[in-house]
Every structure is written in C-alpha cells, then in structure tokens.
Amino acid sequence: MTTRFARRTTVCLAAGGAAALLALTACSSDSGSSSDASSPSSAPAPSATSPSATAPASSASSTVSGTVVVFAASSLKESFTTLGKEFETAHPGTKVEFNFGGSDTLAASITSGAPADVFAAASPKTMKTVTDKGDGVGTPSTFVRNQLEIATLPGNPKHITSLKDLTGSGLKVALCAKTVPCGSAAQNALTASGLKLTPVSYEQDVKSALTKVELKEVDAAVVYKTDVKTAGGKVDGVNFPESAKAINAYPIVELKDAPNAAGAESFIALVESAEGRTVLTQAGFLNP
C-alpha cells in the first residue's frame, strides 16, 4: 500500500508540473514580451564551425571543374607544370592541359580560333597580337620577368665570357627566331652592344635553342636564365651585362570565349599568388 501511494503521488506531481508549465507558456505568449531567443522556431546563429558558416568558402573551389587549357611560352614549361599539379590537387577532379611553344606561334593559333582558356606570353608585344584581335578578357597582367644568359657546353670549352665572344669566327651559335620573344630580346642586346651575329640556326622557341647546345650541335646559344637553370649540368651559363637592357616581361590573360572561364580565373589567381610567385622565382624568374 505504501509503494502504490508513492507512485500515485509522483504521477500527480508530474502531471501538475506539466500543467503549470503549459500555463506559464500561455501567459508568456499573451504578455507580448519578446521570447524569440528561446522559441523553438528560432534558428540559432551559425557558429564558426557550423556547415552553414563555412559553406561560402567551400563553394568557391567547388565552382572550378573540368579541364583548363593553358597556352604558355616554352620557357614556362617546368614552372607551369608544377603549378598545374598544385591546381589539380587544390581542385579535385580538374585537369590542366598545357600547350607550350613559341609565343608567336601560340598567339597565331589563338587568333585563328584555337580553343584555350589562358594565354601566358613571354613578351607584351606577343600578347598584344592576341588582345588587338579582341581575344583577351580585360587587361593582361605581368606576373614575372626573365633575363637572357649564354648557354655553353659543360665546362665552357670555348671559354666564352661575353656576348662579343659569340661573334668570333668558327664558333657555332644558335639563336631564337627574331619573331620569338627570346630572339627579339637577343637582337636588342646585340644592337645595344653594337654587335652583329649570324647564327648557324634560328630556332622557333627557346627550348629548341637550348637543346642544340645539350646535343652539342652548337657551341652556345642565347637563352633565358631560367632555361640554363632547369637544364642543370647539361649546360653552363654565362652572364653578360647587355642582358639587363633586354629583360622580357611575361603577361598573362584569360581568353575570350574560354571554354572554362572559372578555371581560367582560378589558374591565373594561382600564378599570381604568393605560392605561384615562389615556384616561379625558385625557377629563376624575376619579380614583375
């Protein structure tokens, strides 16, 4: 009997408490006082770690997908290949396809309608070929500069110490074609020095000129400092003061009607970021 009485007392107290709570709630509602903060229908402000608070940041990367096609000067090959891998890691599921070559050839392809998202040239003059046709979006930005250097056979057996030495008889020298930025820069350096040089070959891009030395088909070639650096022990580099008068600026731009505009913008952002600058300067490029 005592146990039953205790249980009935507990139930009655619980029922009474519930009724009191309902009555209190009704009174609170009727009073017109503000109770939104404790109302079950009011959503709490998202915390710094809640999904809704982080959604905008995560959605930025999710907008980048598919393939990004980049046309770039051949001297950018090693650096851009590294940045392409970093881009794909940062944006899972994406792919960066590169077309490296002489800037003039790439510009001609773009103005002829070749589908691409980004163009990175080795000179403003070459970039102007594209922008004058209305094939660029906005104003191209200079992201790095590059300086010339003489590439010689390992050990420099011909003892080349200056630009003037390249004009010596019996010396085989390769230059980039005059229409290519590295060739135009070499001509500017020669003109500034009052020198004339007739090479054994004009190459369509700087990598081809460098390869001539690596294969020992020529004794030297005028290329970029970055190319000598990436070649490692395959060539030696010789600085010459006239190169300071022929430094090339490298502009980059998103292309009109880019198949992947979002990807183009994101890749250019990476190139111009602190991370991108580090990769480029480590390869020997100069700050813009």
- On whether the CB atoms of residues 251 and 140 are closer than 8 A, the answer is yes
Query: What predicted TM-score, i.e. pTM, was given to this entire model?
Result: 0.77
Domain ranges of the chain: 63-145+249-282, 148-245
Give the pLDDT of residue 253.
Answer: 98
Asked if the domains 63-145+249-282 and 148-245 are classified in one and the same CATH topology, the answer is yes
Q: Using only the alpha carbons of the chain, give its radius of gyration.
A: 33
Superfamily covering domain 63-145+249-282: Periplasmic binding protein-like II (3.40.190.10)
Residue 21, pLDDT above cutoff 60: no
Residue 28, pLDDT above cutoff 60: no
- Identify the CA nearest to 221 among candidates 159, 176, 283, 187: 176
Q: Residue 225: which pLDDT band, with cuts at 50, 70 and 90? A: very high
* Helix extents (H) in the chain: 2-30, 51-62, 77-90, 103-111, 124-131, 181-193, 206-214, 225-231, 261-272, 274-282
Q: What is the pLDDT of residues 129-156, one digit of tens each?
A: 999 999 999 999 999 999 999 999 999 9
Give the pLDDT of residue 114.
Answer: 96
Give the pLDDT of residue 62.
Answer: 52
Tell me the Ramachandran region of residue 105: left when phi exceeds 0, alpha when psi lies from -120 to 50, beta otherwise.
alpha
Residue 33, pLDDT above cutoff 60: no
Q: What is the pLDDT of residues 54-79, one digit of tens each?
A: 333 333 445 899 999 999 999 999 99
Give the pLDDT of residue 245.
Answer: 87
**What percent of the chain clears pLDDT 90, i.e. is strictly above it?**
76
Residue 270, pLDDT above cutoff 90: yes
**What percent of the chain clears pLDDT 70, i.e. is strictly above it?**
78
Q: What is the pLDDT of residues 91-115, one digit of tens each?
A: 999 999 999 999 999 999 999 999 9
First to last CA, the chain: 94
Residue 188, pLDDT above cutoff 60: yes
Give the pLDDT of residue 63.
Answer: 85
Residue 51, pLDDT above cutoff 50: no
Half-sphere exposure of 243 (CA within 13 A, CB side): 18
Give the pLDDT of residue 174.
Answer: 98
CA–CA distance, 238 with 5 (Å, rounded to integer): 105
CATH 3.40.190.120 for domain 148-245: yes
Give the pLDDT of residue 120.
Answer: 98
Mean pLDDT of the chain: 84
Residue 196, pLDDT above cutoff 80: yes
